[in-house]
Amino acid sequence: MAPKRIRRSLALPASWRFLLLALLIAVSAEGAPRPNFVFIMSDDHAYQAVSAYGAGINNTPNIDRIAREGIRFDRAYVPNSLCGPCRATVLTGKHSSRNGFYDNRSTFDGTQWTMAKSLQRAGYQTAIVGKWHLVSEPTGFDHWDVLPGQGKYYRPDFITPAGKSAIDGYVTDVTTDKAIAWLNGAGETGRKADKPFLLMIHQKAPHRPWDPAPERLKEFVGREIPEPATLLDDYSTRTSSAVDAKMRIGETMNDRDIKTWAEDNNHRQWLYNHMTADQKAAWVEHIDPRQAELEDSGLEGDERTRWKWRRYMEDYLACVASVDEGVGRVLDWLDGAGLAENTVVVYMSDQGFYLGEHGWFDKRFMYEESLRTPMVVRWPAGLKEPGREEGRIVSNLDIAPTFLELAGAEVDPEVDGRSLTAILRSEPTPDWREDFYYHYHEGPERDHNVQLHDGVTDGRHKLIHFYKRDEWELYDLEEDPRELSNVADDPRYAEVRERLTARLAELREDYGFTPPKVGE
Parallel/antiparallel/unpaired status of strands 163-166 and 157-160: antiparallel
3-state secondary structure 333-383: HHHHHCCCCCEEEEEEECCCCCCCHHHECCCCCCCHHHHECCEEEECCCCC
Scanning 2-10, 24-32, 181-189, 205-213 for contacts with ligand SGN by CB under 6 A, the matching segment is 205-213
**Cβ distance to ligand SGN smaller for residue 152 or 178:** 152
Q: By CB under 6 A, how many residues form the interface with ligand SGN? A: 12
**Cβ distance to ligand SGN smaller for residue 442 or 471:** 442
Cis peptide before 206 (omega within 30 of 0): yes
Shortest Cβ contact with ligand SGN: which residue?
83
Residue 362's binding partner out of Ca ion, ligand SGN, none, with CB under 5 to 8 Å set by partner kind: ligand SGN
Residue 447's binding partner out of Ca ion, ligand SGN, none, with CB under 5 to 8 Å set by partner kind: ligand SGN
Q: What is the DSSP letter of 211?
A: -
Nearest to 402 by CA among 198, 260, 98: 198
**Cβ distance to Ca ion smaller for residue 124 or 210:** 210
**Cβ distance to Ca ion smaller for residue 43 or 233:** 43
Scanning 21-29, 87-95, 207-215, 406-414 for contacts with ligand SGN by CB under 6 A, the matching segment is 207-215
Nearest to 252 by CA among 217, 299, 213, 209: 209
Binding mask 117-156 for ligand SGN (x = CB under 6 A): ---------------------------------x------
Cβ(304)–Cβ(270) below 8 Å: no
Residue 369's binding partner out of ligand SGN, Ca ion, none, with CB under 5 to 8 Å set by partner kind: none
**Cβ distance to ligand SGN smaller for residue 208 or 286:** 208
Residue 508's binding partner out of ligand SGN, Ca ion, none, with CB under 5 to 8 Å set by partner kind: none
Binding mask 74-113 for ligand SGN (x = CB under 6 A): --------xx--------------------x---------
Residue 208's binding partner out of ligand SGN, Ca ion, none, with CB under 5 to 8 Å set by partner kind: ligand SGN
Q: Does 207 bind ligand SGN (CB under 6 A)?
A: yes
Query: From CA 308, how far away is CA 253, in angstroms rounded?
Result: 8
Max CA distance (Å), the chain: 72
**Cβ distance to Ca ion smaller for residue 211 or 390:** 211
Q: Which amino acid is at 344?
A: V
Tell me which of 65, 98, 143, 208 binds ligand SGN, using CB under 6 A.
208
Q: Does 362 bind ligand SGN (CB under 6 A)?
A: yes
Query: From CA 247, how far away is CA 259, in angstroms rounded?
Result: 17
Q: Does 41 bind Ca ion (CB under 5 A)?
A: no
Query: From CA 325, how far away is CA 202, in angstroms rounded?
Result: 14
Helix (H) or strand (E) holding 399: helix 399-407
3-state secondary structure 254-298: CHHHHCCCCCCCHHHHHHHHCCCHHHHHHHHHHHHHHHHHHHHHC
Cβ(90)–Cβ(375) below 8 Å: no
Tell me which of 173, 194, 447, 458 binds ligand SGN, using CB under 6 A.
447
Query: Which DSSP string do the residues of 295-310 spell out, in sequence order?
Result: HHH---HHHHHHHHHH
For 82-91, b/e burial (b = at least 16 CB within 10 A) is bbbbbbbbbb
Tell me which of 37, 40, 43, 322 binds ligand SGN, using CB under 6 A.
43
Tell me which of 209, 382, 408, 515 binds ligand SGN, using CB under 6 A.
209
Scanning 333-341, 347-355, 372-380, 440-448 for contacts with Ca ion by CB under 5 A, the matching segment is 347-355
Least distance in angstroms from the C-beta of 44 to Ca ion: 4
Q: How many helices (H) and strands (E) does the chain have?
A: 16, 16
Residue 193's binding partner out of ligand SGN, Ca ion, none, with CB under 5 to 8 Å set by partner kind: none
Site for ligand SGN in 406-445 (CB under 6 A): none
Q: Does 52 bind ligand SGN (CB under 6 A)?
A: no
For 199-230, b/e burial (b = at least 16 CB within 10 A) is bbbbbbbbbbbbbbbbebbebbeeeebeebeb
**Cβ distance to Ca ion smaller for residue 350 or 398:** 350
**Cβ distance to Ca ion smaller for residue 207 or 418:** 207
**Cβ distance to ligand SGN smaller for residue 35 or 359:** 359
Least distance in angstroms from the C-beta of 81 to Ca ion: 8
**Cβ distance to Ca ion smaller for residue 44 or 368:** 44
Cβ(339)–Cβ(23) below 8 Å: yes
Q: Does 350 bind Ca ion (CB under 5 A)?
A: yes
Cβ(158)–Cβ(91) below 8 Å: no
Strand, helix or coil for residue 507: helix
**Cβ distance to ligand SGN smaller for residue 318 or 507:** 318
Q: By CB under 5 A, how many residues form the interface with Ca ion? A: 4
**Cβ distance to ligand SGN smaller for residue 93 or 151:** 151
Give the count of beta carbons closer than 10 Å to the beta carbon of residue 120: 18
Cβ(187)–Cβ(130) below 8 Å: no
Tell me which of 43, 69, 257, 435 binds Ca ion, using CB under 5 A.
43
Least distance in angstroms from the C-beta of 483 to ligand SGN: 20
Positions that interact with Ca ion (CB under 5 A): 43-44, 83, 350
Positions that interact with ligand SGN (CB under 6 A): 43-44, 82-83, 104, 150, 207-209, 362, 447-448
